[in-house]
Amino acid sequence: MDKHLPQLFTIATLGSHSALQILKGAKDEGFHTLAVVTPQNERLYKSFAFVDDIIVIARYADFPAIEAELNRRKVILVPHGSFVAYLSPEQHKRMSTPYFGNKAVLDWESDRMRQREWLGRAGLKMPRQFTKAGDIDRPVIVKLYGAQGGKGYLFVKNADDFSRTASHLVRQKYIMQEYIIGVPVYIHYFYSPLNGKLEIMSMDRRYESNVDSLGRIPSSDQEGWDLQPSYVVIGNQPISLRESLLAEAFHMGEAVVRVSREICPDRGLYGAFCLETIVTPEAEFYLMEISARIVAGTNLFIDGSPYSYLNYDEPMSTGRRIAREIKNALLSDSLEMVLDQSSGLHGASSFDDAATVSVVVPGPGVPAN
Ligand code: AMP
Ligand code: AMP
C-alpha cells in the first residue's frame, strides 16, 4: 500500500463554515490542502500550518471561475454548508472538479417537499405540515427554502397571526410546519460506501438568537412587549444523548440511507450527513430536516467526540473521517465510489496520471479505522 499516495492529491474547500476542520482532517490523513477564500479571510486561513495553499476569489459565488485551476492541481472538493448557501444545485452539477458526495441527492434535499417524501418513506416522524394559512390550527414555524441558518424563520401562533406577520412572504418559497416544543438535537452521521457501515460521529444542540434567550426573561415581563422569536444560529453546544435513545438515532440514520438508494439510485446518500430533530417530553424524535453533508455543529469535535472515541482510538472529527474515506478509496482503487464526477465535462476524471501510480490494492471494503 503506498502511504504517500494521498500527497499527490489536494483536498480543497471554501474558507468558511467547517473548512478548518475539513482541512485539518485532510492534513492528518496525509493530503495536500487548499483553502479557497475571500480577501477578508486570507490572513486567517494562512495562519494555520495545515493549510498548504490558498486561492483568493472576490466572492464565493465566483468559485466556478477557478475550476480549471483546481483540476490542474488534482483537487478533490469537500463541500459544506457554504457551498449550498452560495452555489445553486445547477452550479454544483456543472462543476467538473471531483466532489466528495453524490450530487443527485441535492435535488431531494434542496426541495423541502421532496425532502419530506424521503424522510416519510424512511418511516421518520415529522411535524405536521400546513399548505394553506387558513388550515393553521396550532402554532407553526414558517421556514424559507435553502440553508440559511434559521434566518427569516417566523413563529406564527394561529391563522390570524399568519396574516399579520407572514403574509409578506407570498412571493417566496416557504413551508409551514407544526411547532414542536422540545430539545433540538442534531445528530451527525457518517455512512461509508466502502465498508457499508454507518457511524454516529457526534451530536450538538444549536444555540439560536433570540429564541434560546427568551427564557431568561420571565413571561410576566414579556407581556405587552412585542417580542418575536427568531432562530438565527449563533453557535452550537455539545450534547450526549440518553443512551436508551441511541438505538433509535442509529436506526433513523440507517433508514435514511436505505431510502436514499431507492430515490437516487444506485449510490444514494453517503459520507457525512445530519438529522436535525426535536425531541419531545415523550422522548419522541421529530425530524425537522436532513442535511446531506458535513454540518457546522461538528466543529465542536475537531478533536473527536465521545461517540467517535468509541469507534476510533485517535481523534476522529467528521472532517478527518471524510479524508480517511477518500484515502481508503484511493488505496483500494475505488475513488469512483466516493466521488461525484458526473458533470462529465472533462472526461471521466482529471486524475489520469495518478491512476498510473502503482499501488497494492486492498479492494473495496477497507476498514474505516
Ligand atoms: P457562512 O459561510 O458562515 O455564511 O455559512 C454558510 C451557511 O451555513 C449559512 O447558511 C449559515 O447559516 C450556515 N451555518 C454556518 N455556521 C453554522 C452553524 N454553526 N450551525 C448551523 N448552520 C451554520
Ligand atoms: P432548521 O433550519 O430546520 O434546522 O431549523 C432551525 C431552527 O428552527 C431549529 O434549530 C429550531 O430551533 C427551529 N425549528 C425548526 N423547525 C421547527 C419545528 N417544527 N418546531 C419547533 N422549532 C423548529
Instruction: For residues 100 and 165, state if they share a domain.
Output: no
- pLDDT of 198-253, one tens digit each? 999 999 999 999 999 999 999 999 999 988 899 999 999 999 999 999 999 999 99
How many independent structural domains does the chain possess?
2
Residue 221 included in any domain: no
CATH at residue 151: 3.30.1490.20
The Cα–Cα gap between 174 and 171 comes to: 9
Instruction: For residues 92 and 111, state if they share a domain.
Output: yes
Q: What is the pLDDT of residue 143?
A: 87
- pLDDT of 102-113, one tens digit each? 999 999 998 888
Which protein residues are within 6 Å of ligand 1, measured from CB?
A: 16-17, 81-82, 85, 147-149, 233, 236, 296-297
The Cα–Cα gap between 89 and 111 comes to: 10
The three cell numbers of residue 53 are 495553499
- pLDDT tier at 146 (50, 70, 90 boundaries)? low
CATH at residue 313: 3.30.470.20
Q: What is the pLDDT of residue 351?
A: 67
Mean pLDDT, the chain, whole residue set = 90
Residue 156 included in any domain: yes
- pLDDT of 312-366, one tens digit each? 999 999 999 999 999 999 999 999 999 998 875 444 345 654 444 433 322 222 2
Atom nearest to 179 CA in ligand 2: 20
Rounded to an integer, the average pLDDT of 250-257 is 98
The order of strands in the sheet holding 198-210 is: 231-238, 198-210, 183-191, 271-279, 285-291
The Cα–Cα gap between 365 and 334 comes to: 10
- pLDDT of 110-138, one tens digit each? 888 899 999 999 999 999 999 988 899 99
Centre of ligand 1 to C-alpha 322, Å, is 19
Residue 259 included in any domain: yes
Instruction: For residues 113 and 153, state if they share a domain.
Output: no
The Cα–Cα gap between 100 and 172 comes to: 31
The Cα–Cα gap between 77 and 94 comes to: 14
Residues 90/232/112/133 CA torsion (nearest 10 deg): -130
The three cell numbers of residue 311 are 469507534
Instruction: For residues 63 and 45, state if they share a domain.
Output: yes
Residue 42 included in any domain: yes
Q: Which of 126, 153, 214 for mutating ligand 2's site (highest number of atoms within 8 Å of CB)?
A: 153
Instruction: For residues 31 and 95, state if they share a domain.
Output: yes
Residue 55 included in any domain: yes
Q: What is the pLDDT of residue 362?
A: 29
The order of strands in the sheet holding 174-178 is: 129-130, 174-178, 140-144, 154-156
Residue 88 included in any domain: yes
Q: What is the pTM of this model?
A: 0.90
The Cα–Cα gap between 249 and 369 comes to: 22
Residue 367 included in any domain: no
E-assigned strands of the chain? Answer: 10-14, 32-37, 53-56, 75-77, 99-100, 129-130, 140-144, 154-156, 174-178, 183-191, 198-210, 231-238, 271-279, 285-291, 339-340
Q: What is the pLDDT of residue 213?
A: 95
Print the domain residue range for 283.
5-122+182-205+240-352
Centre of ligand 1 to C-alpha 231, Å, is 12
Instruction: For residues 105 and 68, state if they share a domain.
Output: yes
| Half-sphere exposure at residue 103, Cβ-oriented, CA atoms within 13 angstroms | 23
Atom nearest to 60 CA in ligand 1: 2
Instruction: For residues 249 and 157, state if they share a domain.
Output: no
pLDDT at 160 over 60: yes
Rounded to an integer, the average pLDDT of 300-314 is 97
95-99, 126-130, 174-178: the lowest-pLDDT one: 174-178
